C-alpha cells in the first residue's frame, strides 16, 4: 500500500467558529477541498492538465465523520490517499488531524468523476493518471 500524502496545512481562525465556539462544518469541507487539489496534482490531474485537455473533476459523493472539535488557534493537517480508481472515478480518503496533538478531528470519504468540460460528461482517465492513482491506494486507518 502507498504512503499517505500531506495535502493541507492550516490554522483555525476565529472567523471559522460557529455559535458553539468550534470550527463550523462548512470549514471542514473547505479545508478538505483545498487538500483534494494537491492529491489530484500528485496523480497528474494538475491545473495545467485540466486547462490543456479541457478536463475537470466533480464531486459526486461526500461523507464526513466528525471525531474531535477544533478551536481557534488549532493547527490542522490533512493527509489524503486513494481508496479505489475506476475508469472514470476516484474514491478518496482524507484525514484531518489536530497538528499539535495528532488527534483525528474528521475523516472524509469522497468520490469524484473525471469530466470532459465541453461534452459535460464523465470520461475515462488517461492510463498514466489511472496508474498513478492505483499507486496511491492507501489502507484506511481503521483497517491498519
The architecture of the domain spanning 5-139 is Roll (3.10)
Cell numbers linked to 93: 480518503
User: Is residue 25 helix, strand or coil?
Assistant: helix
The per-residue pLDDT for range 13-72, each reduced to its tens digit, is 999 999 999 999 999 999 999 999 999 999 999 999 999 999 999 999 999 999 999 999
Cell 479541457: give the residue.
Answer: 54
DSSP 14: G
Amino acid 141: pLDDT? 81
pTM above 0.85, yes or no: yes
Amino acid at each position: 500500500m502507498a504512503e499517505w500524502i500531506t495535502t493541507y496545512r492550516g490554522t483555525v481562525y476565529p472567523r471559522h467558529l460557529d455559535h458553539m465556539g468550534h470550527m463550523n462544518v462548512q470549514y471542514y469541507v473547505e479545508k478538505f477541498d483545498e487538500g483534494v487539489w494537491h492529491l489530484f496534482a500528485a496523480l497528474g490531474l494538475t491545473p495545467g492538465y485540466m486547462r490543456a485537455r479541457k478536463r475537470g473533476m466533480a464531486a459526486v459523493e461526500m461523507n464526513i465523520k466528525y471525531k474531535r472539535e477544533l478551536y481557534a488557534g488549532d493547527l490542522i493537517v490533512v493527509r489524503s490517499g486513494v481508496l479505489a480508481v475506476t475508469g472514470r472515478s476516484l474514491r478518496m480518503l482524507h484525514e484531518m488531524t489536530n497538528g499539535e496533538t495528532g488527534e483525528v478531528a474528521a475523516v472524509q470519504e469522497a468520490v469524484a468523476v473525471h469530466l470532459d468540460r465541453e461534452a459535460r460528461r464523465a470520461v475515462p482517465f488517461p492510463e498514466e493518471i489511472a496508474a498513478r492513482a492505483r499507486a496511491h491506494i492507501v489502507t484506511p486507518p481503521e483497517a491498519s
